[in-house]
Amino acid sequence: MKISLIQAPIVWDNPIANILYFQQKIMEIDEETALIVLPEMFTSGFTMEPFASAENMNGETISWLKKIAETKKVAITGSLIIFENKHFYNRLVFVYPSGKIDYYDKRHLFTLAGENKIYEPGTTKKVIKYMGWKICLQICYDLRFPVFSRNTEDYDLLIYVANWPETRINAWDILLKARAVENMCYVLGVNRIGSDFNKLEYVGHSQVIDELGYFLLEPQVDEGIFQADLDMKKLLNTRKKLNFLADRDEFVIKLNKSAE
């Protein structure tokens, strides 16, 4: 499966400008791509003032994503601010070429920035199926919590979309590789670049890692579209040969009630 990652600067609290930017970038992607991945909060940046950029599941951004998916016959995923049932969510939507939508609400809200005071946490892990692949959807701070992402479903691809700042980029690199190795899966991480309203700097490091921790796409620092080919046969052969997942421990996740 060929995937395309868009590493981009994000205009603060300006959905129209960001959609126009991503529209142009997406039109540059060749037809072979099966999945396009955008960063976290790609219409707004990582804001704790969601009112200017929030919309519902019938809003303009969702309609635009559906149109892109149907026109280019490609799946597309990225997170945006959704207002629903009187709550704000940092929601990762996965739009299929058919226009069908699955979504995952960020479970681990970033308390250091006060995200837990503004947004409602998700309550469930999300593994979707696309083109024969089982894909686990995660957002940014989720990366620091390996129990929640543990591969108990035999998923094949783990996706993280993020606004992860330069000051902690070493942790991003280390943890992405750890998630790939411990879960015996491909890991794809898409981060933004540039600076935001809070004067945080972002250096990207979007990347793709295989089940043994090797790069299919090394961490990137420039603005652009980056691609990689995922090989299901290779993944399954490695799992069969090494069989590490057969030795994983059984456990039950107890959700942190303090975040709810």
Sheet holding 2-7, edge to edge: 101-105, 87-95, 75-84, 35-37, 2-7, 224-229
pLDDT given for residue 66 in this prediction: 98
pLDDT given for residue 257 in this prediction: 61
SS3 of residue 59 by DSSP: coil
Report the CATH number that the domain containing residue 15 is assigned in CATH. Answer: 3.60.110.10
Is 140 catalytic? The answer is yes
What is the rounded distance in angstroms from the CA atom of residue 52 to the CA atom of residue 183?
Answer: 38
The token duo for 144 is 């620091």
The token duo for 114 is 């006060």
25, 55, 66, 106: the active-site residue: 106
pLDDT given for residue 82 in this prediction: 98
Structural domain total, the chain? 1
pLDDT given for residue 260 in this prediction: 47
Is 70 catalytic? The answer is no
Angle at 85 between CA 82 and CA 87, to 5 degrees: 55
The values of phi and psi at residue 186, to 5°, are -75, 140
SS3 of residue 136 by DSSP: strand
pLDDT given for residue 255 in this prediction: 78
pLDDT given for residue 144 in this prediction: 98
Is 185 catalytic? The answer is no
Q: Which residue has the tokens 């997170």?
A: 79
Which residue type is seen at 160? Y
Closest CA to 72 of 102, 101, 100, 98: 98
Does the predicted model carry a pTM greater than 0.85?
Answer: yes
Q: Residue 83's domain spans which residues?
A: 2-259
Facing residues of 52 across strands?
Answer: none
What is the rounded distance in angstroms from the CA atom of residue 140 to the CA atom of residue 142?
Answer: 5
Closest CA to 111 of 147, 91, 140: 140
What is the rounded distance in angstroms from the CA atom of residue 56 to the CA atom of residue 105?
Answer: 13
25, 40, 66, 115: the active-site residue: 40
Dihedral sign of CA atoms 30, 31, 36, 38 in order: positive
25, 120, 140, 211: the active-site residue: 140
Over residues 123-142, the pLDDT tens digits come to 999 999 999 999 999 999 99
The list of the chain residues with pLDDT below 50 reads 260
